[in-house]
């Protein structure tokens, strides 16, 4: 179990740094908001992925735990509020993201879900051992 925690932490850290490099390399002044969003969304995708240690999210279903889905959607709404509400922009030093950049944040963050699902598939196929 601890191996999972370590590699997922490194993975999320890696995609966060990659998002920073991508945004900073483009010269955008809102790169910190991008990194913050990728970190937040990655954690949400991870929480959805680990609802089962072995079964795929597609197998157990997105709607099988409505409270969890509601909490994730509520957190996404809060994140969007932090990004797009002027009051929170000034309080939390965030900046509104163009749609394209927000899409990239979701796409990068979803890699966490994909990576965990691949790990679970490899465990089911006995390609890796998980204690």
- As a whole number of angstroms, the distance between CA 78 and CA 111 comes to 21
Answer whether residue 1 shows pLDDT above 70. no
Q: According to the model, what pLDDT value does residue 131 have?
A: 61
Closest by Cα among 116, 104, 118 to 16: 104
Query: For the packed helices 99-124 and 2-25, what is the interaxial angle rounded to 10 degrees?
Result: 160
Mean pLDDT, range 41-70, rounded to an integer: 94
CA distances to 14, 68, 77, 81 from 8, in Å:
10, 20, 24, 27
- Residue 124 is predicted with a pLDDT of 85
- The residue written with tokens 């601890």 in the block is 2
Residues 47-66, mean pLDDT to the nearest whole number: 92
> How confident is the model over 92-127, as pLDDT tens digits?
999 999 999 999 999 999 999 999 999 999 888 887
Residue 2 DSSP label: H
Model confidence at 85: pLDDT above 70: yes
pLDDT score of 68 more than 80: yes
pLDDT at 80: 98
């Amino acid at each position: 179990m601890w191996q999972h925690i370590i590699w997922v932490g490194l993975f999320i850290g890696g995609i966060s740094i990659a998002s920073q490099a991508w945004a900073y390399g483009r010269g955008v002044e809102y790169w910190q908001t991008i990194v913050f969003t990728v970190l937040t969304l990655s954690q949400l995708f991870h929480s959805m992925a680990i609802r089962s240690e072995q079964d795929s999210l597609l197998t157990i279903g997105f709607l099988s735990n409505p409270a969890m889905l509601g909490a994730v959607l509520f957190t996404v709404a809060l994140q969007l509020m932090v990004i797009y509400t002027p009051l929170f922009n000034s309080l939390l030093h965030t900046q509104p993201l163009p749609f394209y950049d927000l899409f990239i944040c979701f796409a990068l963050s979803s890699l966490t879900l994909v990576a965990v699902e691949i790990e679970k598939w490899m465990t089911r196929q006995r390609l890796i051992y998980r204690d």
